[in-house]
Amino acid sequence: MDGKTSVFSWNGRTDHETDWTSFRYHQVIGARGEQKNACVLIGFSSDEGVRRNKGRIGAAEAPDALRAALSNMAWRLPEGNYLLEAGNIVCVDGMMEEAQRELGEVVKGSLASGLTPVILGGGHETFYGHYLGTRAFIGKGKKLGIINIDAHFDLRPYDEEPSSGTMFRKILDNDPDTDYLVLGIQRYGNTENLFRKADELGCEYICEDELDENVAAEKITAFMERHDAVILTLCMDVVDAAAAPGVSAPSPFGLTPKLVRAIIRKVVADQKTMSFDISEVNPSLDPDGRTVKLGAAFVNEAIMGLYVR
């Protein structure tokens, strides 16, 4: 299967064509020479995992919607810092597992080239491909930490049909060198059985009503110190529904955008952080575009932090 495409046309407002201090995202897209240590955008156009999880589909349209929202944002990095583009991987005919493997190959190749993957999902099944690529790059035996900003554990059984709600359990069952920290868990969005499974698997988590910036920072610091590499994933259903209604499962008591931004900044500032993904933005459920715009703002925070650390 070759589901890789690159159909998005970056464009937007141009304040000046040659003055770097006036540049916006759409003006810094593309490879320039042998640039290393750059971020590369990888789209994962899939919501097959959400469909299997009986959620509201539409997140497959998010990668290009996020790019469109990023296009006009100011690019606030010194001259010579460009943003690279890898196009989209598209899940065709429900072939989610094949698409995840393809994403893993692109992530691994990007890391091997000295680039930092920033992955635009897609349903949260995006993360499994993200994980496959990162683990393949760092190799077996290295301690890998997963930090998930999410309202849900996503630890459901995967034996019959993997979905957007199963991948973390599959990873933890099969990779003894990986640990899992979830920030923003909703008490009434997860059954007692899922809490028990999280404890059984040795997961670390903080519920949304116990989480603030100081608590998050202390937990993140301790978690990162114990690992050789860390990957960060953001599920947009963790955000308060007033700020992010355009998701499959809105959270009326979700985290504030300010707190999510603080968590992203904290994690990406550490040199151990290999990559970042955002999932569960659903443009079809976002009539005024606020969720897409907020998601793009979070992507911008991740990119800025990954460049300047």
Binding-site residues for Mn(2+) sit at 124, 150, 152, 154, 235, 237
How many Cα atoms sit within 13 Å of 14 on the Cβ side? 9
Q: Which residues are annotated as a binding site?
A: 124, 150, 152, 154, 235, 237
Give the C-alpha separation, 236 to 1, whole Å: 29
Give the C-alpha separation, 309 to 281, whole Å: 27
Task: Give me Rg for the CA atoms of the chain.
Answer: 18
| Nearest residue to 40 (alpha-carbon basis) of 309, 256, 303 | 303
Contacts for 140 with CB less than 8 Å, ≥ 6 apart: 177
Q: Copy the structure tokens of residue 301.
A: 């925070």
Give the C-alpha separation, 140 to 33, whole Å: 32
Give the C-alpha separation, 39 to 78, whole Å: 14
- The H or E element containing residue 210 is none
Q: Is 85 exposed, middle or buried (0-12, 13-18, 19+ CB in 10 A)?
A: middle
Q: Copy the structure tokens of residue 136.
A: 């393949």
DSSP code per residue over 98-133: HHHHHHHHHHHHHHHTT-EEEEEESSTTHHHHHHHH
Q: Copy the structure tokens of residue 141.
A: 């035996």
Q: Copy the structure tokens of residue 228.
A: 């050789």
